[in-house]
């Protein structure tokens, strides 16, 4: 009999084997979600009463980190899936949750977090990109989402913030791959992470009713789910930093070049930062005060870059040779993605500056 732990180890081994392909092409893109779902990864941190395997959000962060150690592409789609699941767990719409949560947990349906636009909207960076015209007890939607990950062609659901034109508060709705008027573009031409099913969504006269409503008030909903959104996202950086540090430590050149103290120093910083992240997610401190979580996200991005630099220093010229680069070249490209994934470091620094100005005023 296959135990959950052995099934997860098999899934992690598959991710390791396909890491280069997932970064370089879409050949294996549609296999990631079913593989991770069958191994029970999406159930981690979900209450047993909702079909999960219990545990905490910290457990889910560690699960994403374990995948990110092998492939940031796989961890990226894992994050999208698990974050959409989190939205349903926080939704007052029990019917929506009951209809779609089982398939999401099993990896039979892909879940995409299309709320990057909404996060920027709440920060005053941009307007919502989807308008909602009232029709009966629902809306007709029009607009687009220019960058969404985990839009698996066999079937996906995506969360989106919509702006009613009649002045009602922005709301969060679920859109589906087979909804008339919704179009998924071809995959975006990314520098890496090309197996992440990342594309744009075009929305033309799409009907949306109460059955698809995740939450009627985006301004209240997003701050409530933001700690999980960002906390789970941090799992990607944690895993990638660990992978680069492990590769640097394993290099025969590290000891000869005197790099071990630097490696140990970054490992210690990473451990402290991860502990701070888990504690804040567990005790709820990040919900009313997002700034400390923003600083952790910024700190982790810096540690990823430092770890990648250390891996390069330890590997030396071999890192630049195709025959001997190993996973370094892929991790280098992955590390370049960490600062720009929404919310980007630029946006986070801007938010912290805005908070500081408000306090000063």
Q: What is the pLDDT of residues 217-256, one digit of tens each?
A: 999 999 999 999 999 999 999 999 999 999 999 886 656 6
Consecutive H or E run containing 183: strand 182-184
> Could you tell me the pLDDT band of residue 359, with boundaries at 50, 70 and 90?
confident
Domains of the chain: 4-110 (1.10.540.10), 113-218 (2.40.110.10), 219-356 (1.20.140.10)
User: Angle 49-55-61 (CA atoms, 0-180°, nearest 5)?
Assistant: 125
pLDDT tens-digit map of 130-151 = 999 999 999 999 999 999 999 9
CB 153 within 8 Å of CB 163: no
Whether residue 5 is predicted with pLDDT greater than 60 in this model: the reply is yes
Torsion of CA 352, 357, 358, 361, to 10 degrees: 160
Report the pLDDT value the prediction gives residue 65, as an integer from 0 to 100.
98
pLDDT the model gives residue 316: 82
CA 149 to each of CA 21, 158, 185, 209: distance values in angstroms, whole numbers, following the listed order: 17, 9, 12, 24
φ and ψ of 299, to 5 deg: -60, -45
């Amino acid at each position: 009999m296959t135990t959950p732990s052995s099934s997860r180890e098999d899934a992690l081994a598959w991710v390791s084997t396909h890491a280069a392909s997932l970064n370089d092409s879409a050949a294996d893109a549609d296999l990631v979600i079913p593989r991770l779902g069958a191994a029970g990864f999406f159930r981690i941190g979900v209450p047993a009463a909702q079909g999960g395997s219990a545990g905490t959000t910290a457990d889910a962060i560690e699960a994403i980190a374990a995948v990110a150690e092998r492939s940031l592409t796989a961890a990226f789609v894992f994050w999208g899936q698990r974050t959409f699941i989190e939205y349903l767990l926080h939704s007052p719409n029990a019917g929506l949750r009951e209809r779609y949560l089982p398939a999401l947990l099993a990896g039979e349906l892909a879940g995409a977090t299309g709320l990057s636009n909404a996060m920027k909207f709440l920060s005053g960076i941009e307007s919502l990109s989807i308008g909602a015209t009232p029709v009966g007890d629902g809306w007709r939607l029009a607009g687009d989402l220019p960058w969404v990950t985990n839009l698996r062609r066999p079937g996906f659901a995506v969360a989106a913030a919509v702006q009613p034109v009649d002045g009602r508060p922005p709301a969060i709705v679920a859109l589906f791959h087979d909804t008339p008027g919704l179009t998924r573009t071809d995959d975006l031409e990314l520098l890496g992470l090309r197996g992440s099913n990342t594309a744009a969504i075009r929305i033309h006269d799409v009907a949306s009713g109460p059955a698809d409503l995740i939450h009627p008030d985006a301004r209240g909903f997003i701050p409530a789910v933001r700690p999980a959104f960002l906390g789970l996202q941090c799992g990607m950086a944690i895993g990638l930093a660990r992978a680069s540090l492990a590769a640097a430590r394993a290099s025969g050149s590290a000891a000869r070049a005197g790099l071990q103290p630097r490696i140990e120093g970054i490992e210690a910083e990473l451990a402290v930062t991860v502990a701070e992240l888990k504690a804040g997610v567990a005790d709820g401190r990040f919900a009313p005060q997002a700034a400390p979580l923003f600083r952790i996200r910024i700190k982790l991005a810096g540690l990823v870059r430092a770890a990648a630099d250390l891996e390069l220093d330890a590997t030396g010229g071999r890192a630049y040779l195709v025959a001997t680069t190993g996973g370094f070249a892929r991790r280098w490209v992955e590390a370049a993605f960490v600062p720009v994934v929404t919310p980007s470091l630029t946006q986070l620094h801007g938010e912290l500056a805005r908070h500081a100005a408000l306090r000063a005023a």
